[in-house]
Amino acid sequence: MKETLLEAEVRAGSGKSVTRKLRMSGMLPAVLYGMEKKPQMLNVNGRDLTRLLHAGGGENVLVDLAVGKANPEKVLVKEVQHHPVTSKIVHIDFLRIDLTKKVTVMVPVHIVGTAEGVKGGGVLEVVSRELEVSCLPMDIPSHIAVDVTALKINDAIHVADLQLGKLEILTDKARTVVTVQPPTVIKEVAPVAEAAEGAVVEGEVVAEPEVIKEKKKEKEEEPEKGKKK
């Protein structure tokens, strides 16, 4: 677990207008809480924070946070909020911690290797992209590596299959972490042959052509009577 020094200042004021001006100046709004102490509203340098997170390999970073002229104290980066469109960091929460007491954190899953089933045409599906664990602050990993090399089609790795040493997994043991699904087969439907012209399709009612018959005269002309002599 890497430790990094980060400087912060107490923030005066709150609200959207204040935080907007902060971000425009390269600073980010932050909150420090925990250990039954009153929460503090802070400002931190955006570039320093981004560099810190990248160096730590994730967002569960243990930090020596120096607020103003006070001595640095151990805190954990508890939550990082990102802009929904740009993904830039817009806010960060720090948690005061006791190095002798366990903390609960979410740790991302990293897939290692190429599954045998994938080489045979299967599809790798990552079901759980992070797991909830409990451990001492100094034992928090940047990620949990899951080796999928031996997985064949229809095989899966569950939480209960993972051996994580000092980490206590709080996620349901029966939960699937990753699986290899069979390839999807799309069946082509043969087009229905068009009926030959004039052919009768089963179930089709063929109308008889209408025949117009000339009406018979209601009365035929009587034969001409003989002439009088």
Please list the residue range(s) of the chain that carry CATH number 2.170.120.20.
Answer: 105-181
- pLDDT digits over 151-167, tens only? 999 999 999 999 998 89
Which regions of 83-207 does DSSP assign to beta strands (E)? 89-96, 103-112, 123-126, 130-135, 144-147, 156-158, 168-169, 176-181
Give the pLDDT score at 217: 47
Give the burial string for 169-205 (b: 16+ CB within 10 Å, else e): bebeeeeebbbbeeeeeeeeeeeeeeeeeeeeeeeee
Count of CB atoms situated within 10 Å of the CB of 209: 5
Which residues face 10 on adjacent strands?
A: 42
Comparing 223 with 75, the larger pLDDT belongs to 75
Q: What is the pLDDT of residues 196-225, one digit of tens each?
A: 555 555 555 545 555 545 544 444 455 555
pLDDT for the residue numbered 169: 94
Architecture in CATH for domain 105-181: Beta Complex (2.170)
Distance CA 216, CA 28 (A): 103
| pLDDT at 114 (0 to 100) | 96
The predicted model gives 97-123 an average pLDDT of 95
99 vs 193, residue with greater confidence: 99
Give the single-character DSSP code of 129. S
| Rounded Cα gap, residues 3 and 137, in angstroms | 11
Q: Could you tell me where in the chain the CATH 2.40.240.10 domains are found?
A: 3-97
Contact 143, 128 (CB under 8 A): no
Question: At 77, which helix (H) or strand (E)?
Answer: strand 73-82
Average pLDDT, integer, range 122-134: 96
> Whole-model pTM?
0.70
Q: What is the mean pLDDT of residues 43-54?
A: 89
Spatial separation of the C-alpha atoms in residues 118 and 212, rounded to whole Å: 73
Q: Could you report the per-residue pLDDT of 52-72, keeping only the tens digit for each?
A: 888 766 678 889 999 988 899
What pLDDT, on the 0 to 100 scale, is given for residue 36?
Answer: 87
Residue with tokens 């043991």: 173
Classify domain 3-97 at the CATH superfamily level: Ribosomal Protein L25; Chain P (2.40.240.10)
